[in-house]
Amino acid sequence: MASFHAVIIGGGGTGAAVAHDLTLRGYKVTLVERGEVTSGTTGRHHGLLHSGARYAVKDKESAVECIDENMILRRIAPGSFELNDGLFVALTEEEANYSHEFIEACHECGIPARRLSAKEVLACEPNVNPDVIMGVQVPDATMDAMRMPLRFFATAKHSGATIKTYTEVVDFIKRGNAVSAIRVRDHTTNKEYEIGGDIFISAAGAWSGKIGDMVGVEVPIRPSPGVMLAVRGRLCNMVINRLHASGDGDIIVPQRALSVVGTSSWVVDDPDNLGLPRDHIDMMIKYGSELIPGVRTAPFRAAWSAARPLIGPRGADTGRELSRTFKCFDHADEGVEGFVTITGGKATTLRGMAEATANVVCQKMGLEIPCGTREFTLLPHTAYYA
């Protein structure tokens, strides 16, 4: 095929997966990232490979997306996850009653869900609140927020994609109504230059509103941060969730020798200025210790914020809606050609988001090339720097 040049802006998990997908479909791919790869939201997220159970009652579409992608990632990224399952625990009668609806919804979405008595919960997870009434076991897992996407970068790079880090997009150049090049600044040399291409894909997460502004299109994104708290010691082996409709501080993800409590949610204007509200850290300790009392006494390791790209009322929603969970905006709808934005979603669904985006790109280029990422075993993360 004629090799089109696709230029991706943003080196988080989404950009990584789009780079891998388009490379497999035969595109020439260049990805630019202003910092190190995964230095945006991706590296900082909670590290939960969602089973989808959390969404099963309220948002079946997200739940199905999660379990499908969860199973695909286990297959294409073997050795990358702590496969210890997840446990939703009920601490009140109300939560125990909710378990019937919850398990049924999981099964409807194809998520294995197994009821455990209080005794069984405590036998598996001795540190859980002894007042636990019952629990539900689901196929959640722990992912390494950086190293899992690094496998997509490594694979794309070894198949020919060019990954340019410390390279920030500072402007877009248009020919007529079509984007024809980006202007970038290489921070390792302080020099600016242009990169031309046939199609430009913004995968800039919480920054995609800012990128849209540079192009002159409306991307209705508001950065919505959440706080996470890591304490020393592995207080659980499974991911511990509160069995209720989602709330703050209701997930504890064990990882390596740490336990990570998250998260909260608010809205800011600047994704580079999130702050770290003290009351949110306190909230993580309060709610986290309801699940596992040891959170309160475990030694502090770190607290930090990360921003979701909240698809919201930043203006009219003119984009093509591929899913309620993530969106791929083809800005041709607003009269700008050669420019697509992919945003929203989850780290768990990065591959699916990339498949949907690459389908839009192929459609725009008038090509029909099937997606190859479902069965493609990724290189180990260590291949990225080698």
Chain residues binding ligand FAD by CB under 6 A are 9-15, 32-35, 39-42, 45-48, 50, 168-169, 203-207, 226, 262-263, 306-308, 345-348
* Closest of 277, 230, 282 to residue 256, by C-alpha: 230
Does 163 contact other proteins by CB under 8 A? no
Q: Provide the minimum distance between the beta carbon of 368 and other proteins in the complex, in angstroms, as a whole number.
A: 37
Q: Using CB under 8 A as the criterion, what x/- string covers residues 29-58 for binding other proteins?
A: ------xxxxx--xxx--x-----------
Using the minimum distance from each CB to ligand FAD, give the nearer residue, 16 or 134.
16
Does 81 contact other proteins by CB under 8 A? yes
> Which tokens belong to 238?
């499974």
Omega cis (within 30) before 357: no
Does 71 contact other proteins by CB under 8 A? no
Task: Choose from other proteins, ligand FAD, none: what does 3 bind? Cβ within 5-8 Å by kind.
Answer: none
The residues facing 344 across adjacent strands are 326
- Whether residue 323 contacts residue 43, with contact meaning beta carbons closer than 8 Å, is answered with no
Q: Give the range of 206-214, 255-263, 313-321, 322-330 binding other proteins by CB under 8 A.
A: 255-263
Output Rg (C-alpha) for the chain, integer angstroms: 21
CA 180 to CA 197: how far, in whole Å? 6
> Which tokens belong to 259?
């336990």
Cα 341 from chain centroid? 15
CA 19 to CA 116: how far, in whole Å? 42
Q: Provide the minimum distance between the beta carbon of 278 and other proteins in the complex, in angstroms, as a whole number.
A: 7
CA 284 to CA 297: how far, in whole Å? 13
- Phi and psi angles of residue 361, each rounded to the nearest 5 degrees, phi first: -60, -45
Using the minimum distance from each CB to other proteins, give the nearer residue, 7 or 238.
238
Q: Where along the sequence are the contacts to other proteins (CB under 8 A)?
A: 35-39, 42-44, 47, 79-85, 87, 114, 120, 123-127, 137, 142, 144-147, 166, 168, 187-190, 228, 230, 233-234, 236-238, 254-258, 260, 272-273, 276, 278, 281, 301-304, 306, 380-383, 385-386
